[in-house]
Structure 1
Amino acid sequence: MSFFDDIPEPPQRPRPPKHVPPVWAGPPGDELPAVVSVGQFFHRSDRLVMAAKSVEVFSTGCLFEVVWAVRRSGETDSEWSLVTDQCFNRGGYRLDAERGRGALRFGVALPDGRKTTTSQVHPDMFEGSEAVAGPVLMMAGGGGGSANDDELFASSRFWLWPLPLGGDPKVVAQWDDLGMAEVSVLISGEQLAGAAPKVQKYWAAL
């Protein structure tokens, strides 16, 4: 008999309840989205290029992907550090609140006149409530970097809830500190509506 043969099996651990995030907080984790290509520039200059690449459509909302590149243009080290902070903060609440209107900002205007931004905070969000009144726009990841001290590259995805159907939503961007006034890209509502039925559930009957 081996030394280890009579060691008892460990007791079964209780299984924790499944955490289901509220629908406004992000895309469903069990869906394969349908992708709508956008391929439109917000802005192109010697200093800043920004473009909307695509939209991933889910049953409850959608993810917009935006990319941008920044070239250094005579900034001091401290000024370039601020640009870097804004670039990689991706229009989040912190820098928008601290720096004011000059910082990088993103929002969405819906066909029915409602609008939302990444810096808009709904009080019920802090409680994880399902009762948050939409629309909601949240950062949902991104990337970026720099190979030298003269250029920055970044990307971000933005979760919009609920899925806008019936009209063309606009993705709005502004970065006054880098010379980009408020500008928008129109997304085809027809394409979003056409993509919605193509969303696939992971665990559908095979």
Structure 2
Amino acid sequence: MVLRISRLRPLACKEPLPRRHVAVYGWSMSFFDDLPQQPSRPREPQPAQPGWFGPPSDEMPGIAHVGGFVFKSQRMVVVLKLVEVYSTGCLLDLVWSVRRGSESDQEWRETVEESYNHPRSSLDTRTGLELGVALADGRKAVAAIHGPSAFEDPDDVTGPVLTTLGGGGGSNNSEFVQFTGRYWLWPLPVDGDTALVAKWDALGIPESLLVLSAQQLSDAVGRVQKYWDQ
């Protein structure tokens, strides 16, 4: 004898339960209705950052088109693309690129690796690209990855200070390598032209410079806009 099993018919509610009032384990409420309120936290005033720390966070910079070649050869360039000018200083946007010549695969790998090097600290800048500025009054600064606060009282810093803010990205293949870097210069040098100086011994780049016009930097300050009126 063959037993036939009839299909089970689904039970249907005449009216679906409201989504926010589903009975779960004996109560009728939303799961999230009875969660404790998070205590409010008092707003704490943020300390003002010193000018040498980096660009102001509440300004749209004026752009100074003072870009040019800091160094150029048949195979290598160091280029200042543009300068973002703020009320307290300026951000230098650099790119360096190397084109492959007759290097072997191993030599080219070493060149690519070297091209990604940055200054490491204020105490040891002779690793990778050496970058500095010479002001019209004779003062100068060398780029470093750490600001002055690690070595002296921040209130005693008079400048100039040139800080590495990090790279904007890079790329490489079997024919070229290119990388970018951003450098914060404080205070803004408007009392005479400034020389941007670069050197890279491992890549064969001799000491080279590009002059930044004080007039163009001053003009760009007038185009700085605050985010907030007050």
- TM-score, structure 1 normalization: 0.84
Unpaired runs of 5+ residues, structure 2, are 1-27
Aligned to 1:163: 188
Measure how far apart 1:120 and its partner are: 8.7
Counterpart among 33, 40, 65 of residue 12 in structure 1: 40
Aligned to 2:79: 51
Aligned to 1:190: 215
Q: Which of the two has higher C-alpha Rg?
A: 2
Counterpart among 114, 125, 130 of residue 139 in structure 2: 114
Unpaired runs of 5+ residues, structure 1, are none
SS of equivalent residue, structure 1 residue 130: helix
- Computed over aligned residues only, the root mean square deviation of the Cα atoms, in angstroms, reads 2.8
SS of equivalent residue, structure 1 residue 93: coil
Measure how far apart 1:86 and its partner are: 3.5
Higher relative contact order (CA 8 A, sep 6+): 1
CA distance in 2, matches of 1:153, 1:87: 8
1:85 and 1:14, CA in 2 relative to 1: closer, same or farther beyond 3 A?
A: farther
- Residue pair 2:146, 2:164 contacting (<8 A) in 1 also: no
- Residue pair 1:110, 1:168 contacting (<8 A) in 2 also: yes
Which amino acid in the other structure matches residue 174 of structure 1? K
- TM-score, structure 2 normalization: 0.76
Instruction: Report the identity percentage.
Output: 45
1:122 and 1:19, CA in 2 relative to 1: closer, same or farther beyond 3 A?
A: closer
Aligned to 1:73: 101
Within 5 Å, give how 1:1-206 maps onto structure 2.
2-3=29-30, 4-75=32-103, 79-90=107-118, 92-93=119-120, 97=124, 100=126, 103-119=128-144, 124-126=149-151, 129-204=154-229
Measure how far apart 1:33 and its partner are: 0.6
1:128 and 1:32, CA in 2 relative to 1: closer, same or farther beyond 3 A?
A: farther
1:43-67 Cα distance to aligned partner (Å, 9 max, x none): 2223212211111110110011111
Would you say how many aligned residue pairs link Structure 1 and Structure 2? 202
Of Structure 1 and Structure 2, which has the larger fraction of its residues in helix? 1
